[in-house]
Structure 1
Amino acid sequence: MKFEEIKNPYTLQFSYIPPQFIERSIITNEIINNFIREVPTFRGMFITGVRGSGKTVLMGDVRNKIGKLDDWITIDINPESNLLDSLARGLYIIPEIKALFVKAKLDFSVLGIGVHIENAELVASNEEDALKMMLGILKKAKKKILVTIDEITYSTDVARFSHAMSSYASADYDIYVLMTGLIENIKAIKNQKSLTFLYRAKARELDNLNITAICADYQKVLALDRETAEALAFCTKGYSLAFQALGYHYWNALSRYGAGKFDIDDVYRELDITLSELSYEKIWDELSETDRKVLAAIDTICKKNNTDAAKVEDIRKHIDMTSNTFTTYRTRLIDSGIVDGKKYGSLSLKLPRFGEFIRFNTY
């Protein structure tokens, strides 16, 4: 098998479905089935997770699959834009949809969409009214709409969007919303109890990629034996960015030196740099000083005892913290997706090779 850097099937790019893509079938089907059922359980859904976990890729996969279904329209809108205006414009530029609006003699010229129509049946005065008119026509045409918004954060425009979606839901228009966001940003939105639509939206946190699937991918694409592929797969801990980055750097090593002619530690060093630059530095910057001390303590204890997890009691002693105070930081770090607390009485670092990053940044 010939390996060439320019044909590397793994990527370090964000926000699109890569050539080597491991599908999360369970959550993908759960989201799609929710929206396409006769009466959806949730009109809005959030995909949450730590940076680099594959939120945008999953949303894109769902959007593509739903977009292929009859009578469905998908619109992706910029979270930094005027959401209602972007949605109205996005619908209007779809030729088959625009034709329905023109036929119905709807006038959206006040928004700079289309032209002024003489003897118009309805004339829009703002974005929200324009969308009501559009959705009414689309419902008669038995069209359903999925709106996708990547990396949403709370703002007054998001609040306005939520209130509009509540209004459209009350009118039984067929419009649904799928969003991605960091866990803390989704919580900030859901803490705004007046935003009924987004408050009731289902939040679904991403699970790790399946290690067996990663192993099979590496074995096939990188032409590895089972043992080597397993070692690489376990190194990623199922973290989406690590899966792509490790495959990317291993492929490049094969193309430059050939199988068995390079030091795997060099590949891991490249991986560490990529994880740091594309994810870990930003995660670290967003942590408090005490959060960092807790993480450093977990790493120190695990390294000292040669274990994957550190006992909570040992962590508290190491940083001299009371049980009540520690609980706050424990909960926050688990919720952020950085720490795993599934093992009773213990904590472990959830992200691959994050211990190496911590040591480099604290010692």
Structure 2
Amino acid sequence: MAAREPIGRSTQNPFTPGFGLTPVILAGREIAIEEFTAALRGEVPEARSILISGARGAGKTVLLAEFRELALEAGWTDLRLHTSSTSLAEELRRQAVSALRELDPEAETSQLTSARIASVAAERDIRRRYDGEGEDLTTVLDRLARLADEDGAGLLITLDELQSANRDQLHALTQHVQDLIGSGHAVAFLAAGIRPGVDALLDHERTTFLRRAHRIEVGSVDVGTAAEAIRLTVADTAKSITPEAAVLAGEISCGYPYLIQLIGSKAWQNSGDADVIEVEDVRGARPATIAAMIKNVHGPALRGLSPRKREYLHAMLEDEGPSAVGDIARRMGIDPRNQSTYRERLIEEELIRPAGRGFVQYALPYLAEALRHQESEGADIEPDRGLTRSRRARRR
């Protein structure tokens, strides 16, 4: 279990249930972190190209951010890209030029243009190498990579939300990365995205480089690891948590990274000014934790689902554990052989997963609760209720 620097005996809630926020304790990521650390040192350079995938809330962005921090600590130069860019290549060029303005000793030069010896005065023409658009991306990247090499480090390029990337732009981007690697530069390329979208992207013929990247699938950890992550997170603060409460919180989280932070945060809030988080605090946090999971994870996943896929998921609600695909077909009133189409698509969308020959089960915690909620409420997500005076209004 990898931990950041201790945050001291703080009285602030240490849990971070927001998406993409880095927790104090990273649960179940030791091997991935150790491998990337070795890659940065040059021991396994082939592991510098990494593709992180997983479900929403599984910790993809968190792991990507942790890798980035490791690289920055090792002195690497960071170029962070966004799939919302109009052009990935142009954004890469802008960031590379910005880095060169700071790192290149030849970014600014001066030339003596006139002098007056009697008054010991001189005039110089200052030239800024990277102010214009003269140098193309290949030249700029090569120069930046060489400077990074000279510092004994390398060039890091990161891209989150990979599933949203334009395929042609992505192909152009990875071509530049391959050229840099082929020229002998130390380059790391890290990308992260939701698994179904990433898989669909990799089916494209122009994503060969990504198919060869080291694949990391992030997902749930075992309940014991989740409980220990919660205990260690609290241990760095002014509070403590009883062993029983930590175990219960781990069980409620089902080892799902987002839920680990969520149940920890809610239990901390429930404990109020008390020095110890008790079982009652955790138990009382369960309903709000499940409600947040339904709204923030299951709501977006279920929104826009076709009626037949939705019917398939609802047909599974009658079973306490895994559902037999034959029973699902019977409940849907279709030929058992025809249910496989919906089954495969729901597996691809990470809503269900195989549970032995002829059986399936929900892929994420509390999906059954989300489906029952929809049945009772008749809406994709529960609307917010209540009125709160804004902070701005309070200052008036």
TM over 0.5: yes
Identity %: 20
Matched residue, 1:305? none
Partner of 2:354: 341
Q: What is the letter of the counterpart of residue 308 of structure 2?
A: T
Amino acid aligned to 2:311: K
* Structure 2 SS opposite 1:247: helix
1:332 aligns with 2:336: no
Is the 2:225–2:255 Cα contact (8 Å) retained in structure 1? no
Contact 1:45/1:204 (<8 A) preserved = yes
Classify 1:259/1:247 alpha carbon distance in 2 versus 1 (closer, same or farther; 3 Å).
closer
Tell me the amino acid that sits aligned with residue 170 of structure 1.
G
Change (3 A) 1:189 1:146: same
Which letter maps to 1:205? E
Matching residue's letter, 1:83: L
Cα displacement string for residues 281-334 of structure 1 (whole angstroms, at most 9, x for unaligned residues): 1111153332222222222222xxxxx322222222222344443333333333
User: Cα 1:292–1:8, aligned 2, differ >3 Å: closer, same or farther?
Assistant: same
Count of residues paired in the alignment: 342
Find out whether 1:287 has 2:305 as its counterpart.
Answer: yes
CA distance in 1, matches of 2:106, 2:89: 17
User: 2: distance between equivalents of 1:353 and 1:321?
Assistant: 27
Deviates more, 1:275-284 or 1:37-46: 37-46
Distance 1:276 1:350 in 2: 14
Superposition pairs for residues 109-258 of structure 1, below 5 Å? 109-111=131-133, 124=135, 126-152=136-162, 153-155=164-166, 156-219=168-231, 221=234, 223-255=240-272
Give, in whole Å, the separation in 1 of the partners of 2:278 and 2:211: 54
The equivalent residue for 1:49 is 54
Q: Which stretch of structure 1 is more off in the superposition, 29-38 or 74-83?
A: 29-38
Give how far 1:136 is off. Answer: 4.0
Report the TM-score when normalising by structure 1: 0.81
Tell me if structure 2 keeps the 8 A contact 1:163–1:195. Answer: no
CA distance in 2, matches of 1:50, 1:316: 26
Q: Distance in 2 between matches of 1:203 and 1:288?
A: 30
Whether the 8 Å CA contact 2:161–2:193 is kept in 1: the answer is yes
Tell me the distance in 2 between the aligned counterparts of 1:317 and 1:338: 20
RMSD: 3.2
1:77-92 matches, within 5 Å, as 77-81=81-85, 82-92=87-97
Compare 260-269 and 150-159 and name the one that shifted more: 260-269
| Counterpart Cα distance in 2 of 1:65 and 1:10 | 22
TM-score, normalised by the number of residues in structure 2: 0.75
1:229 Cα shift? 2.8
Q: 1:259 to 1:28 in 2, by over 3 A?
A: closer
CA–CA distance in 2 between the matches of 1:252 and 1:310? 37
Aligned counterpart in structure 1 of residue 319 of structure 2, from 280, 301, 307: 301
The secondary structure found in structure 2 opposite 1:340 is strand
> What is the identity, as a one-letter code, of the residue corresponding to 1:110?
G
Contact 2:83 2:165 in 1 (8 A): no
Please say if 1:353 is aligned against 2:366: yes
When Rg is computed on C-alpha atoms for both structures, the one with the higher figure is 2
CA displacement, residues 53-81 of structure 1 (integer Å, 9 cap, x when unaligned): 111111111111222225x3233222222
Q: Which moved more, 1:243-252 or 1:215-224?
A: 215-224
Check 1:338–1:223 CA distance in 2 against 1; reply closer, same or farther (3 A cut).
Answer: farther
Partner residue of 1:25? Answer: 30
Change (3 A) 1:28 1:327: farther
Give the structure 2 partner of residue 73 of structure 1: 77
Between the aligned partners of 2:41 and 2:257, the Cα distance in structure 1 is 27
The residue type paired with residue 127 of structure 1 is: L
> Bigger CA drift: 244-253 or 327-336?
327-336
Which residue does the alignment assign to 1:317? Answer: 330
CA contact (8 A) 1:47 1:181 kept: yes
CA contact (8 A) 2:230 2:260 kept: no
| Greater helix proportion | 1
> 1:193–1:199: 8 Å Cα contact kept in structure 2?
no
1:40 aligns with 2:45: yes
Question: Shift in Å at residue 238 of structure 1?
Answer: 1.1
**1:146-192 residue CA offsets vs partner (Å, 9 max, x unmatched):** 21111122313223212222333333332221111011221232122
Structure 1 contact 106–133 (Cα < 8 Å) conserved? no
**Residue 119 of structure 1 corresponds to which residue in structure 2?**
none
SS of the residue corresponding to residue 215 of structure 1 reads helix
**Contact 2:322 2:359 (C-alpha < 8 Å) held by counterparts:** yes
Amino acid at match of 1:189: L
Residues 101, 130 of structure 2: 8 Å contact kept: no
Find the aligned partners of 1:158 and 1:63 in 2 and give their Cα distance.
Answer: 20
- Partner secondary structure for residue 348 of structure 1: strand
Q: What displacement does 1:14 show?
A: 2.4
Amino acid in structure 1 at the alignment position of 2:139: D
Q: Is the CA contact 1:77–1:83 (under 8 Å) kept in the aligned structure 2?
A: yes
